Each structure stands twice: as structure tokens, then as C-alpha cells.
Amino acid sequence: MYPKLIINLEKIQENTEILYGRTKKCGIEIYGVTKGCSADINVARRLINGGCSCLMDSRIQNLYSLRKGGINVPLFLLRIPMLSELSALLDIADGTVVSAEESIAPLETICRARQKSMNVIVMVDVGDLREGINPEDILRVGTSLAACRYVHCIGIGTNVGCFGGILPSAQNLSTLVTCKAALEDSLGYQIDVVSGGATSSLDLISQHIMPSEVNNLRIGEGILLGTNLMGYSRIIEGLHRDAFILEAEVVEVYVKPSKPFGRIGMNAFGQAPHFEDKGRRLRAIIALGRQDVNPDGLTPMDEGVEILGTTSDHMVLDVEGCTTAPVYGQKLRFLMNYSAMLMLTTSKYVHREYV
């Protein structure tokens, strides 16, 4: 069945092992992030085999899937929890990140009623302006956590790059380290985890400027795709970039004008498209659309293939440059970025094959 994701589990494990080896030399532990592959259980097992001591995901449903699939390492919620899901969180997770001070008291109440503990990592905003408390509020949050009996703070962390595009640096991670000391003072006990970000923070290791106090990274993209979308260098040296390959089937091949003719209005997505007139060219359509993936995240592996645009169900390609013209029923292959992988693994219309 097509479209199809071909997932190479050996390459995923090898990527994990390589990054585990590099970070271990710096005293850094890897938590594997499974949200990029919608918590695929086969992928999750390879993350653990490769050295990940904990798995994190942004969706409680995915954590349920991991546990149901036999994953027995600690599971953490990666997204700050909603008030409405705190009870469900306690059912399945060993821990969660937190940032809203208002979430601490109700989480403690639920834990006390269930006589069950919950580990938390306090997120601090060091400049990206996504989740995280302001550094000046760390003492107040620590005081709230110190009053808890069942909610136990095990660490402090930050997120950079995902919202504001702010890159990790020795300076902003030093702010995190400073906050750790202040948090411990208000807690009255020491915390073990200093989580200095995600895949983009790997650059600081290669540049030898990672603060020595940072001992944890949350890695998804680097393991799954061998890339670092937000980093100084987009390609992580020595890693496989083709652990995930998309195959889609050609459903039409015709020579057509390169520029639509007639009165032009908005397309199906409310956009006013623009086309360069290159004359008549060979075009192909594959059975893949925006319901499955954002085309901007795909890179054709077949030489001479160019993505022209996508509707909800069809992707239009210029294949004039192909040495051999594609034919009806042929399969074309694509590499993907993190965003495309996220969408493809979420779509119920995209099938998976493991090699």
C-alpha cells in the first residue's frame, strides 16, 4: 500500500549508539524523544537498545502506546501538562515537565489522593519565549515544590529554537545552570537533571563549549533523521540521514504547459499561486497530498524530480529532467525533514514498512 514510509530500524539504532557515545564522553545522558515518529513502538525499542535511558513524548496517548507495547523504561510527558489531563498523566507517566506554577498544587492533590508520586523537570525560559518560567521566578516555584510530598523535582531544563529560533549557546545554558543553584536553594534538596535542550544543543558539544553542569539532552530529530534543523550545521556528521524514506506512487504522467491558462483565482488553500512559464514540460502526479504532509519538508531522491505543488490529495512534479521518464504505477522516493516526518507518521493514510 502507498504512500509508504520505509523505516530502517538498524540505522535508527546506529544513530542512537553514535550520539550516545558522543554525549557520554561529556557526562550527558540522552532521553529519546518519540513524538517525531508518533511513538512508533519498533523505533522506540531501538532508541532504548541504542542507549536512551528514558523516553519522552508530547502526547499522553503516545505514552499509553509505548507502555502497552512493552516499553519499561521511564516515560515522561514532554509537553507541559493540561489541567484536564493531570489524572491521566498519573495513570501512565513516571514524570513530566512543568512550567506553570498553577499546575503544581492540583498535581500534588491528585498524587496525594492516589498515593502515587510524580517526578517533574522545571522548565526555564532562557530566551526562546516558548514554555518555561522566567529565571527571576525560580525561587517562588521552588518554594511551591518544596511544600509537596508526592510531586518531586528531579531536574531543571530549557527549550531553545522551537518557537523563537534562538540557538543554544554557552551563555543561555549558563543561565539555566544558575537557575539550578537557585532552585536547589528554594527546594532544600539537590536535583540530578540539568537538561540543556534538544538536538540543536549537540552543536555545543562539537564546539567544546557545552557548560559542564549540563548532563541531559532530549534528542529526537538527530537520532531519527541525522539532521539538526535549528543548529549551526544542518547535517550531523557520521549519522544516517535516510532511516526514514517516503515512497509514493505515480498516478499520471503527461506533457503539459508549465503555466496554468485561464482566469487565475485562489487555489484550494486560499493562496494565489504563481508559475513561471517554462514551456511544455513532462509532469507527473503522485498519490500524496497535504492531508499527509507539507511538501516543503520533502526532498526528492530521484534525480530530475522537482516538486511543483500539492493539493489535499495530489502532488504535482516536474519530471522533465529525469533520465528515464516515470511511468504510471512507478514509485518515487523522498527524504524528509522533521516536520514532514511528524506529519507522515501521524497520517493514518501513510503505511509503514520496516527494514
Check 35, 68, 116, 348 and give the catalytic one.
Answer: 35
Catalytic annotation present for 35: yes
Q: Which residues contact 12 (CB under 8 A, 6 or more apart)?
A: 43, 46, 47, 50, 223, 224, 240, 243
Q: Which amino acid is it at 298?
A: L
Separation of alpha carbons 40 and 210, rounded Å: 31
**Number of CB atoms found within 10 A of residue 247's CB:** 19
Determine phi and psi for 316, rounding to 5 degrees: -100, 130
DSSP per-residue codes, 255-304: EEESS--S-----TTS---------EEEEEEES--TTT--GGGEEE-STT
Q: Which amino acid is it at 339?
A: S
Cell of 189: 534538596
Separation of alpha carbons 238 and 329, rounded Å: 35
**Structure-derived torsion over alpha carbons of residues 135, 179, 183, 121, reported in degrees to the nearest 10:** 90
Determine phi and psi for 135, rounding to 5 degrees: -55, -35
Where in the sequence numbering do the catalytic residues fall?
A: 35
